Chains A and B, each alone.
Chain A
Amino acid sequence: MITFKSSKALTVGVELELQLVNKRNYDLTRASVDFMEIVKKRKLIYDIKPEVTESMIEIASKPYANILDLENELNLINREVISIASILNIGISGGGTHPFQNWTERQIFPAERYTAVSDIYGYLTKQFNVYGQHVHIGCEDGDIAIELIQYLSQFIPHFIALGSSSPFNQAEDTLFQSSRLTSISSFPLSGIIPDLSSWKEFEIYFSAMKDTGIVSTIKDFYWDIRPQPDYGTIEIRICDSPLTIYRACIIAAYIQMLSSYFLKNYKLLKRAKIDRYTYSYNKFQAARYGFDGIIIRNFKKPIKISISQDIENNLELLIGHSFALNTHHYHKKLLDIVKNKNSNSNQIKKIYKQKGNFPGLVESLCDIWKSNSYI
């Protein structure tokens, strides 16, 4: 029996995994142990955590009903993060992957959970040194959470395209907009949540998985969207870490508006089924081509549509919700991004073209993160 802790509907929280790089050649560096030492020493009230390797940290906001408040808190946290980074002589960068790191150089953070993960998954854990944005949406009960997961899963290609910021991996242009996803798909419990329609069904499924020893906690599921009963949220885990906090908030606002649309039309949408036949294909299109990806809606009566067009269609439906949620500013910006196909991945490629080398690129990404420009 897992209790789903009720939380206020449509509240939003954001977690961002960030890269720690040295300032000598802008490769990843092992600094999270030192980083956490200073966080502890400063007695910060913010949520700053270590992650699986010593070259990453995670920052997380509290849940907010208003995305502007969320953005403010993330900016405050980031101010501390930048200050600690300057003490440690390191840089902080967004982006789903580090462009030229060598995964064999990574070191697992010395904590029981990460060591256990490393023992189970071996080299995959070090290859899992990728950086994502997780968006939590508050749900009043477990049934709504499961329904909302099923509903939002159809928009996974949108989230991938909007968040994509990992065109380079291991010093190669992958030709993908989001190469980070391939690192996650190696895990056995990644991908789409099983076909469940209520919290009760989830509980039965989870206890069966636990009894067989496949999982021990919810965290062992690396699904694209998973429930988080302890927080009373669902967690969308598919997006790359964007280059700025502002972009992270735009994505969070889109997910909040979609969730609001779902709740408003709950009776109509609550039995929405994910098209599992096309799920992986659509995901691939989004990861490979971003906004230009062509996805298939409705496998039985197929409709081909570009991801950018599909998001634009959605945004038209969401205008009213954007005013209700006070996210119209983000809505406008989102439309602008989609129309110009202005993904972070495209921006990264543009900077790389200007700089001509990977360290120069990462240096620029650190500057962008520090200045938190509106890109």
Chain B
Amino acid sequence: MTIQSSLLGVPLVILVIIVFSQFFKIFLKIPTIYSGIIGGYIFSITSIPVIGRIQIDALYPFISLFTAIIFYELGRRINLGWVLTKKLFFVAIVLMFILMFNVLIQALLYFNLDFRSASLISAILISTSPAFVLYSIKELKSEGYLTESIIHITGISNVLGLLLFSIFFDISNYNSAAIFSPESVSEIIRMIISCMSGFLTALILNAISNFFRFDENTQFIVISLFIVTVFLLSMQFNLSGMISLLTLGLFTKINNQRVNLHKSDLGPISNFSYLMIFIFAGYHLSELSFTYKDFFIASALISIKIILPTLFLMLGYKFNTLSFKKTSLISISLISLSSVAILLSTDLHLIGSEASLKAISILWSVIFISELISPVLLSLSLKLSREVKL
């Protein structure tokens, strides 16, 4: 196979997938998230026998890049100043996620999973899909206190999820000192270096942009190239691309006087990234082969994901400044799982043990249920909070 023909395959496959998903969106009036998922699912069951798994799996690095782009956007939406203003609230949220992580581990141990698989699955489960959250917010033009809270909590959940996943990935034995093992310390250092790389790149991007004062189109290209470069460097040096991009977004502040660069998104690039992530989420559903038992365990885990934050936030209602109604709506807005969970699940494959395969099966069941209900619940909670544009 020549380079040209293998390169030709990439846009062709993407084009076919997009046609699939747009068919559902345009002709059946299905919302973008669901049409992407259905398009991806139908593509997977029809294409794998023809093209073969390996060719399609070659697209994985692109999915990682699209996910990283969404993390950049998430970073752009996070206001560190606000986090510091509401530090007690966000410290409480971090504690809540740590509690949730432990409760999920206990639940999975109860369902006979080994500690390592249980901790990895729990780390994945505490995170919320930034793609689902950001896309729903954009699509519904949602603005307000709940919206801001959901975005920031999503950021926290992903940072914690990725950190815990990395720490527990190399820990094979359960003991209380495990978190202080050399492996876990090196993972924490890896995360810190990822943050630093994003931060330093943001400083360079800001300095270059402010010095040259690019026009709008050039600035857009420069930002895009920075994103791709940071992502590739992260892969090269075994850093977390998602964390690097999140930090890049967080600290990008271009005061270019010639163009309006306060825009937080990357326009068509981000829209394309969202669509590809939804398609990717649907594509993987064809691998699903859950049993009723898996479905039951998955339902229990999702219940924990909803009930625990609800109880936590309700107990602390008097101390936070959200209204009672909005406090009660936070939990159901946070259950979505998509590309991050799927990408991390491929790491679980690497472990290759029987226990890890069982864990993947449970995780896939959770992802399936979450993909089914979370877009509806998220848009419902934004609508009930009256933060969407009527």
A interface with B by C-beta (< 8 Å): 22-26, 29-31, 33-34, 37-38, 41, 86-89, 105, 107, 110, 354-360, 363
Contact = CB atoms under 8 A, between A and B. Distances in A.
A360 B253 CA distance: 11
A355 B257 contact: yes
A34 B329 CA distance: 14
Nearest to B318: A41
A110 B386 contact: yes
Given A30-B144, A356-B258, A24 B77 contact: yes
B241 to A, nearest CB: 23
The DSSP consensus for interface residues of chain B is loop
B140 to A, nearest CB: 12
A107 B261 CA distance: 26
Contact of B264 (A25, A41, A105): A25
B263 interface: yes
B183 interface: no
Interface of B: 76-77, 79, 81-82, 85-86, 141, 143-145, 148, 255-264, 321, 323, 326, 386-387, 389-390
B262 A30 contact: no
A357 B79 contact: no
Contact of B259 (A30, A34, A357): A357
Contacts of A41: 321
Given A30-B387, A357-B259, A86 B82 contact: yes
Contact of B144 (A31, A354, A355, A363): A31
Given A87-B86, A355-B257, 16 more contacts: A23-B82, A24-B77, A30-B143, A30-B387, A31-B143, A31-B144, A33-B386, A37-B323, A88-B145, A354-B257, A357-B258, A357-B259, A357-B260, A357-B261, A357-B262, A363-B262
Contacts of A88: 145, 148
A34 B322 CA distance: 8
B387 A23 contact: no
B43 to A, nearest CB: 35
Given A87-B85, A107-B390, A24 B264 contact: yes
A42 to B, nearest CB: 9
A75 B145 CA distance: 25
Nearest to A100: B260
A358 B386 contact: no
A362 to B, nearest CB: 9
Contact of A359 (B144, B262, B326, B389): B262
A107 B148 CA distance: 18
Contacts of A38: 321
A354 to B, nearest CB: 8
Nearest to B255: A360
Contacts of A30: 143-144, 387, 389
A247 to B, nearest CB: 26
A22 to B, nearest CB: 7
B321 A105 contact: no
Contacts of B79: 23-24, 89
16 contacts: A23-B79, A23-B82, A24-B76, A24-B77, A24-B262, A25-B264, A26-B262, A41-B321, A87-B85, A87-B86, A89-B82, A89-B85, A105-B141, A110-B386, A358-B260, A359-B260
A38 B386 CA distance: 16
A118 to B, nearest CB: 12
Nearest to B146: A34
B328 to A, nearest CB: 14
Given A88-B148, A89-B148, A105-B389, A25 B257 contact: no
Contact of A22 (B143, B255, B386): B143
Nearest to B258: A356
A25 B263 contact: yes
B262 A25 contact: yes
B110 to A, nearest CB: 39
